[in-house]
Amino acid sequence: MDSDNKTTPQSSSVGSLLSTVMQELSSLVRNEAELAKTEMSEKTHQAMAAIAAIAIAGAVLFGGFLALLAAAIFLLNEVLPPDTTPWLSAIIVGGVATLIGFIMLTAGLKKIQAQNMMPTRTINSLQTDKAFAKKHQRNVKEELK
């Protein structure tokens, strides 16, 4: 009878312990999912703001750039020998502009990498939670022995 009294409180404490652990794990998973959702929303907002700024700046720069290209074509046409045709100036200026544009595009694409969009805080938090859960699991197994 004395052994029955010891078993019942211990089993009820183990049951409540497991219930508490399950509730905490459930809460932890919900919180981590909410953190990931919030962080991804934040990263998306930052990317959209950057893209909008680039698009507006690009539209303004495009008009000025076209005017400068036209001026460069006229200037080069004056510098080239008179027996050459005007389209040669346009090809030379267009080729140089295309090369510069390609270099700028490559540099911009390097700045937008998938790694920058990773939810690093959430990943770090999940790794910490995993380590904590493993440690907690070992402690519970030791207590049950």
Mean pLDDT for each consecutive 10-residue tract of the chain (145 residues)?
Answer: 48 76 86 88 88 92 91 90 85 91 88 69 84 82 74
pLDDT at 5: 45
pTM: 0.41
Ranges of each domain in the chain: 15-114, 120-144
HEC string of the chain equals CHHHHHHHHHHHHHHHHHHHHHHHHHHHHHHHHHHHHHHHHHHHHHHHHHHHHHHHHHHHHHHHHHHHHHHHHHHHHHHCCCCCCHHHHHHHHHHHHHHHHHHHHHHHHHHCCHHHHCCHHHHHHHHHHHHHHHHHHHHHHHHHC
